[in-house]
Amino acid sequence: MTQSNLIDFDTKTQSFHLHNDDISYVLGIEAGGVLAHLYYGQRIKQYHGHLKSPRLDRGFSGNLPKSSDRTYSLDAILREYSYEGDGDFRTPALVVRQADGSRSAFFKYQDYTISDGKPTLAGLPATYVVDEHEAQTLTVNLVDEVSQLTLAMRYTIYRQRPVITRSVQIINNGEQAVHLEKIASMMIDLPVGEKDVISLLGGHANERNINREPITFGTKTFQSRRGTTSHHMNNFIAIADTQTNEFKGEVVGLSFVYSGNHKEEVSKDPYGTYRIAVGINDDQFDWEVAAKDSFQAPEVIMTYSNTGLNGMSQALHNLLQQRMVRSKYKNSVRPIVVNNWEATFMDFDEARLQPIVDEAKDMGIEMFVLDDGWFGHRDDDNTSLGDWQVLAKKFPQGLQHFANYIHERDLQFGIWFEPEMISIDSDLYKNHPEYMLKVPNRTPSPSRNQFVLDIGRPEVRENIHSQMKAIFDNTDIDYVKWDMNRNLTDIYATDLPASRQGEVMHRYVLGLYQLLEELTTEYPDILWEGCSGGGGRIDAGFMYYMPQSWTSDNTDAVARMKIQYGTSLAYPISSFTSHVSEAPNQQTGRYTSLQTRGAVAMSSVFGYELDLTQMTDDEKQAVKEQVAQYKQMRQLVQYGQYSRLIDPNEGNRCAWMFVSDDKNEALVFSFNILSQAQPENKMLKLVDLDADKVYEDVATGDEFGGDELMHAGIYEPAVFSDFNAMIYHYKAK
Ligand code: GLA
């Protein structure tokens, strides 16, 4: 069946219109062959050519070369991309150091192509299509005549998603090498209006706090310079109208598909125009593009919603789940794990772990994950990273013996690795000190007393790859937790000349992606989980290789409410994991009930992280019940439509809910944080239900209309204990 076009070029207005049922994005070729931004938002039928930025003689904003039109300035129009040295004094998206040392460039429209589907980006993660009618891609080529550089700007629009992806590529058709000092993956200028920027900031054990602030005059930068996505600033931002809330209003989410240094710049100029740019951080970046060579920048996902932040998150959740994750587990319910980290740390051997496995079996838990401390001679975190051989003292009969013990009890076996790291106290360092990231003649900086391997180099990757392969080929392993417990310093690669040391951090990420690609394709049956000291590398790019990630080293139920609420802004529920740990909590010292810990952890991919053998009989029984309950609800939690209802940052409550595709089932999680004497009455209004259906509260048998639950709401019971959790389960009759 022929499908309608999603992208049109109108010769009269010289504009490209990307559209589907929900959204329109219009860009045009303006005087001088400049690519201008014209419109982005709710679907319009046709662009008639009138929405150009007003032409005015703006003092001190220069004009096109050889032009006497003082009303047309690259400094004042809305643009799709800007270049250092072209007369636009706002933040540039691209800075090219030309062979003559200048930083001037003028990229002029040359031609375009429109094709079905979506091309892959070599060596980089990106969203994909499964059917070429699902999306169309526009490539607009712009050329800098002097250097013969082509700038290929790529836009893909999905047919049934409010999503456009963007990326850019530089192709050097000239005779001399150039250096890219900055290359944003996307830039957009938006017209007047009052807007907020929402970012996800935090720190170790406190990731992805939602931070919302007005965009005011000047430039605000969100970034990571740590070599990874970072706990401190996730590479997702949203630009929202000031009135937009969870349920209504316009918002655009910008998700950078990359796992290294990133920068999101948001500015407002004196004429009220907003400029947004997202890409690899130009700090510590300088990439040589040789003659006849090219550079591909990573992708940015743009998600438009006029149904508030929940609408944006839902579109993004579905896209990432269905068109970023490639793992065979992308639509499978994930196993309930018990992980031994907070139970034993590194103080274990097989005999100490076996009883935990036995308890797990008895409780219905489905996987045992062996965390840090099983390799080299590792009893603490000062040694052995890089030596991925089993520590015989802890597993005298070998790792396969323990794998058998677990499998004989019908559990799966998972194992922890930290492949990108090296300890000075390791055989790998003794044999290959040159594998470590280190600046010659300088003493490298430790962090957690460990150092980073230069994973950008093929021989380093091959070494780690073959060590991991030896474990996978000799042990029945069902799951791997891929950890990374420090950030990058001492940036220097021994295999690159001085002029190219600015490439090291991006080469690290490309090398990492190559290693991940190889291992995840060679071992597709392994369920891979990402981790970086908790959630330091949760990003859309990592999801291309690993369908789930450890959300945070903070397992405290109350702290997790905020962390999980914030994480859900940009990442699907099936992509982040949550474990019940002991009380008082090891990170915060807070005591919360097993029921509340369970409810918070059951709100994503569920597991336990405590010594099951130390629990009382009552607690063991409660765990059995939680496990059984989660098995009933996990399809809906992991793959239903998720909505945030009450933001824990705003007060004493937190709530979210899940609805099945057919709207026949809903689960609502509601938390009352601190107890109050004579509390205010509390109501909860649900969303996304079928107004015409009648729902039964499974626990009480009470009946409600879908419209009642959504518009009238329910009263929540008054509770007189701290950190209380309620789970409501509704089924349509
Ligand atoms: C990181 C992880 C933890 C645990 C430890 C082991 O902090 O986030 O879950 O695996 O490393 O060292």
Report pLDDT digits (tens) over 510-525: 999 999 999 999 999 9
If you measure from the C-alpha of residue 336 to the centroid of ligand 1, how many angstroms do you get, rounded to a whole number?
18
Query: Residue whose CA is closest, atom 2 of ligand 1?
Result: 533
- The CATH architecture annotation of domain 337-637 reads Alpha-Beta Barrel (3.20)
Q: Among 231, 340, 341, 586, which residue has the most ligand 1 atoms within 8 Å of its CB, making it the best to mutate?
A: 341
Q: Is the bond into 584 cis (omega within 30 degrees of 0)?
A: yes
If you measure from the C-alpha of residue 18 to the centroid of ligand 1, how many angstroms do you get, rounded to a whole number?
44
If you measure from the C-alpha of residue 370 to the centroid of ligand 1, how many angstroms do you get, rounded to a whole number?
11
| Residue 454: pLDDT over 80 | yes
State the Cα–Cα distance between residues 239 and 312, nearest whole angstrom. Answer: 11
Token output for 494: 């021994």
Pairing assessment for the beta strands 527-530 and 479-482 based on DSSP bridges: parallel
| pLDDT recorded at residue 192 | 85
Q: What phi, psi does 435 have (nearest 5°)? A: -75, -15
pTM of the model: 0.98
Instruction: Give the CATH class of 646-732.
Output: mainly beta
State the Cα–Cα distance between residues 444 and 451, nearest whole angstrom. Answer: 8
Q: Among 374, 416, 586, which residue has the most ligand 1 atoms within 8 Å of its CB, making it the best to mutate?
A: 416
Burial group, residue 170, by CB count within 10 angstroms (0-12, 13-18, 19+): buried
Query: Residue whose CA is closest, atom 7 of ligand 1?
Result: 533
- Residue ranges, CATH 3.20.20.70, the chain: 337-637
* pLDDT tens track for 78-114: 999 999 999 999 999 999 999 999 999 999 999 999 9
| Residue 51: pLDDT over 80 | no
Q: What phi, psi does 143 have (nearest 5°)? A: -130, 135
Q: Among 485, 549, 551, which residue has the most ligand 1 atoms within 8 Å of its CB, making it the best to mutate?
A: 485
3 state SS of 434? helix
- Residue ranges, CATH 2.70.98.60, the chain: 7-323
- The single residue listed with the structure tokens 């300890």 is 423
If you measure from the C-alpha of residue 534 to the centroid of ligand 1, how many angstroms do you get, rounded to a whole number?
7
State the Cα–Cα distance between residues 152 and 149, nearest whole angstrom. Answer: 10
- Nearest alpha carbon to residue 574 among 602, 548, 545: 548
Question: What 8-state DSSP symbol labels residue 712?
Answer: I
| pLDDT recorded at residue 241 | 98
Judge contact between 634 and 334, C-beta under 8 A: yes
CA-CA-CA-CA torsion sign (10, 15, 20, 22): negative
Per-residue pLDDT band at 1 (split at 50, 70, 90): low
Q: How many CB atoms lie within 10 A of CB 280?
A: 25
* pLDDT tens track for 171-182: 999 999 999 999
Per-residue pLDDT band at 732 (split at 50, 70, 90): very high
Q: Which ligand 1 atom minimizes the distance to the CA of 481?
A: 10
If you measure from the C-alpha of residue 482 to the centroid of ligand 1, how many angstroms do you get, rounded to a whole number?
10
| pLDDT recorded at residue 639 | 98
| Contact residues of ligand 1, CB 6 A cut-off | 341, 371-372, 416, 483, 485, 531, 533-534, 550, 553
Query: Residue whose CA is closest, atom 12 of ligand 1?
Result: 372
Spell out the residues 6+ positions from residue 202 whose beta carbon is closer than 8 angstroms to its own.
Answer: 208, 209, 231, 232, 563, 566
Judge contact between 121 and 296, C-beta under 8 A: yes
Token output for 393: 């003292």
| Residue 268: pLDDT over 90 | yes
Question: What 8-state DSSP symbol labels residue 443?
Answer: P
| Alpha helices in 324-457, H assignment, sequence order | 341-344, 350-363, 399-408, 427-431
483 is catalytic: yes
State the Cα–Cα distance between residues 187 and 199, nearest whole angstrom. Answer: 17
- Residue ranges, CATH 2.60.40.1180, the chain: 646-732
State the Cα–Cα distance between residues 346 and 88, nearest whole angstrom. Answer: 57
Q: Among 372, 550, 579, which residue has the most ligand 1 atoms within 8 Å of its CB, making it the best to mutate?
A: 372
One DSSP character per residue, 285-314 reads --EEE-TT-EEE---EEEEEESBHHHHHHH
If you measure from the C-alpha of residue 290 to the centroid of ligand 1, how many angstroms do you get, rounded to a whole number?
41
Q: What phi, psi does 507 have (nearest 5°)? A: -60, -35
Q: Among 553, 581, 586, which residue has the most ligand 1 atoms within 8 Å of its CB, making it the best to mutate?
A: 553
Q: Which ligand 1 atom minimizes the distance to the CA of 534?
A: 8
| Alpha helices in 688-730, H assignment, sequence order | 706-707
If you measure from the C-alpha of residue 416 to the centroid of ligand 1, how many angstroms do you get, rounded to a whole number?
9
Spell out the residues 6+ positions from residue 274 whose beta carbon is closer than 8 angstroms to its own.
Answer: 189, 190, 191, 193, 195, 215, 239, 266, 267, 268
| Residue 2: pLDDT over 80 | no
If you measure from the C-alpha of residue 109 to the centroid of ligand 1, how many angstroms do you get, rounded to a whole number?
50
If you measure from the C-alpha of residue 439 to the centroid of ligand 1, how many angstroms do you get, rounded to a whole number?
27
Query: Residue whose CA is closest, atom 1 of ligand 1?
Result: 533
- Amino acid letter, residue 126: A
| Alpha helices in 203-306, H assignment, sequence order | none
The β-bridge partners of 307 are: 249
3 state SS of 172? strand
Query: Residue whose CA is closest, atom 4 of ligand 1?
Result: 341
Residue from 483, 539, 647, 688 carrying the catalytic annotation? 483
Token output for 235: 């590479």
| Residue 508: pLDDT over 90 | yes
First to last CA, the chain: 38
If you measure from the C-alpha of residue 460 to the centroid of ligand 1, how many angstroms do you get, rounded to a whole number?
23
Q: Would you report the helix, strand and coil content of the chain in percent, each value rounded to 5?
A: 25, 35, 45
State the Cα–Cα distance between residues 379 and 12, nearest whole angstrom. Answer: 72
Which fold, 7-323? Answer: Beta-galactosidase; Chain A, domain 5 (2.70.98)
> What strand order describes the sheet that includes 34-42?
7-10, 15-19, 23-30, 34-42
Judge contact between 135 and 158, C-beta under 8 A: yes
| pLDDT recorded at residue 49 | 86
- Amino acid letter, residue 359: E
| Residue 50: pLDDT over 90 | no
If you measure from the C-alpha of residue 552 to the centroid of ligand 1, how many angstroms do you get, rounded to a whole number?
9
Residue from 75, 371, 553, 647 carrying the catalytic annotation? 553
Radius of gyration of the chain (CA): 27
Q: How high is the mean pLDDT of the chain?
A: 97
Per-residue pLDDT band at 35 (split at 50, 70, 90): very high
If you measure from the C-alpha of residue 723 to the centroid of ligand 1, how many angstroms do you get, rounded to a whole number?
26
Query: Residue whose CA is closest, atom 6 of ligand 1?
Result: 372
Q: Which ligand 1 atom minimizes the distance to the CA of 381?
A: 12
- The single residue listed with the structure tokens 């017209």 is 191
Q: Among 340, 348, 371, 576, which residue has the most ligand 1 atoms within 8 Å of its CB, making it the best to mutate?
A: 371
553 is catalytic: yes
State the Cα–Cα distance between residues 18 and 139, nearest whole angstrom. Answer: 12
Percent share of the chain, pLDDT over 70: 100
| pLDDT recorded at residue 112 | 98
If you measure from the C-alpha of residue 127 to the centroid of ligand 1, how many angstroms do you get, rounded to a whole number?
29
* Segment (H or E) for 653: strand 653-659
Token output for 27: 């860009």
State the Cα–Cα distance between residues 57 and 80, nearest whole angstrom. Answer: 21
* pLDDT tens track for 548-570: 999 999 999 999 999 999 999 99
